[in-house]
Amino acid sequence: MLDPVTRQHVEKAAEALQDEFAGTFSRETIARFIAESVDLLGESKINVFVPVLAHRFTRERLKALGQAEGLITKEQPEVLFVCVQNAGRSQMAAGLLTLRSGGLVGVRSAGSHPAEDVNPLAAEALAELGVDLVDAFPKPLTDEVVRAADVVITMGCGDACPIYPGKRYEDWEVDDPAEATSLDEVRSIRDDIDERIQQLLGELEVPVLS
């Protein structure tokens, strides 16, 4: 249950999204999506962060819905990474793909059972390469982000993703940082994912930045 102040901030976030997506989605659709996003993110989130996270999560979902329904033009290939918690592997993969593609690939990530926070060792390992996960947060998997993706890559949760025709699906067998006991172990996982990312970019015919 949101307190009155938090609810007011969520309503302001909805108004900002209504301005951004005016002419694409109705006010009712946006209100429904932000209410769903608050529920999906869970009551365990600290209330002060709920409006910001709900705004960002809803914005990402609406953009994906627009792409999936042809209301928003795709300007680049879209890749979705999914793992169980969206705290380690999929966050690392998303950060590395953004880094190596120089932003020439659209990237999203999600979890079948998202954790509370991003794995700190995963964040530290990526920070060594200049990738900042400070604004990243675990998000639940939703249908529209799958529909918007051209490539869907799962890591340990392949059964969680709905199958849609015309998409490329891959399952990467990558160790889970949640089971690592040291930064060195997570670095090895990071480097494994990085190699796969660079191979993926080659297959997508996108230049790899070193």
Catalytic (active-site) positions: 83, 157, 161
Q: Can you say whether residue 50 is alpha, beta or left, with left for phi > 0 and alpha for psi between -120 and 50 degrees? A: alpha
CA distance 62 to 149: 13
CA distance 136 to 20: 22
**What are the residues whose beta carbons fall under 8 Å from the beta carbon of 47, sequence distance 6 or more?**
2, 3, 6
82 and 154 Cβ atoms separated by less than 8 Å? yes
Number of other residues whose CB lies within 10 A of the CB of residue 53: 18
164 and 147 Cβ atoms separated by less than 8 Å? yes
